[in-house]
Structure 1
């Protein structure tokens, strides 16, 4: 999911929800030049709040302490962006269902 600005209106589709959540994410210091990927899995309630702590299920481009910093940054971003602004219809559709959010910071060109 490319980084974007957080939309002002409530998300009414998953396609609108993903950028709203991704807008809060920044890769940790030092990870941006190499390019990193992280996938978090979580579930939301009807009101857009997290049901439980998200889980990091995949990382690429970092190892060791870099992986731990990437996981912390991703979890902090999800906490900052929730409760997500979603419509009642989207809330009913996604409540309790697993969501996987893939965040990618591409390698910067030299």
Structure 2
């Protein structure tokens, strides 16, 4: 009998003690941090993209870059766009350009092409699992263009 009343008393103490069930954000600093940015570099223009919905990050990044085309008279260049996707693969908000490596006279054309290519390539076809994993997380996608005459050179 005594054991039964002890368990009942313990259950009562836990159920009426709200402090035991509360979570303090200062005990866990990761709650205060922003989501980890997903980062990738894609060499553009992308020549082949897999069929069907993307089910991994490795399959997603080339699909997001598949619509990118070099602006006229563009030499070697690199640009990074930061954006987020919704669960259905559509853009969440407006992408931001965070980095460019291009002559200043070609910067505006490169930025415009990169932003419009993301708009053309979205909504990206995603599996439900990948859509849930990337939804709302920042993505920093770096587009690297080796130049018109570089062929397969890195």
TM-score, normalization: structure 2?
0.65
Residue matched to 2:72: 29
Shift of 1:7: 2.7
Structure 1: which 5+ residue stretches go unaligned?
A: none
Structure 1 segments of 4+ aligned residues over 4 angstroms from their partners: none
In structure 2, how many angstroms separate the alpha carbons of the residues matched to 1:17 and 1:75? 17
Confirm whether residue 93 of structure 1 aligns to residue 136 of structure 2: no
Residue matched to 1:9: 52
**Higher Rg of the two aligned structures:** 2
C-alpha contact 1:11 1:86 (8 A) present in aligned 2: yes
Residue matched to 2:123: 83
Q: Which has the higher helix share?
A: 2
Shift of 1:22: 1.0
Once the two structures are superposed, the pairs formed by residues 39-78 of structure 1 within 5 Å of their partners are 39-64=80-105, 66-78=106-118
The number of residue pairs the alignment matches comes to 106
Shift of 1:5: 2.7
RMSD, matched Cα: 1.2
In structure 2, how many angstroms separate the alpha carbons of the residues matched to 1:57 and 1:78? 15
Structure 2: which 5+ residue stretches go unaligned?
A: 1-41
